[in-house]
Amino acid sequence: MTRYVTRFGSLEHHEKGGVEVIADDPKNYVFSNIFEVASVSRPYEKVAVGKNMEYVLEAIRAEGTSEWRVAAHDEFALVMDGEVEIRFLELADPSVVPPGKQGSVALAGPPAGRKMGVVRARRGHMTLLPAGAAYQFHAERPGVILLQTIGGDDTRYRWGEICQTM
């Protein structure tokens, strides 16, 4: 009987993995390891690791404090490694993000508004980042966030660097 072992990856301990293609071109598939992508990314850089129409999954290296961001649509942050504090603020001026703008928008400095609260998320915790609410990530030690969003101006597409081609 075959025995399988589940190993959870992390920023410090991960394996590349791969896709075994039987009778097709590997370029028709995407396979990337979010921990590998985050290990070579700048803090809070948004690197697409999956895409379905306009929706993307972005691997984000959480380290230190991010800029404040806001989106015209809901986003979901899933902490895959480490512990991340997510700070929320109701904007005094919601027009800083144009209606229908895709992806999140970086705000120039701390925005004016009312504090909404803080979430302290660890591996496996998912947090809703509600449409129109400003948010800021903070991590004492490096970690990884998988962000479900709509691709925007700050989404980095690096398929040639992160995808298996053979």
The pLDDT tens digits of the residues spanning 15-70 come to 766 666 667 766 665 556 888 899 999 999 999 998 888 899 999 999 999 999 99
Choose the most confident range, by mean pLDDT, from 14-18, 143-147, 159-163.
143-147
Q: What is the 3-state secondary structure (H, E, C) of the chain?
A: CCCCCCCCCCCCCCCCCCCCCCCCCHHHCCCCCHHHHHHCCCECCEEEEEEECCEEEEEEEEEEECCCEEECCCEEEEEEECEEEEEEEEECCHHHCCCCCCCEEECCCCCCEEEEEEEEEECCCEEEECCCEEEEEEEEEEEEEEEEEECCCCEECCHHHHCCCC
Homologous superfamily of domain range 26-162: Jelly Rolls (2.60.120.10)
State the chain's mean pLDDT as an integer: 88
Residue spans of the domains in the chain: they are 26-162
Enter the pTM of the model. Answer: 0.85
Between residues 148 and 11, which one has the greater pLDDT?
148
Mean of pLDDT values over 65-83: 96
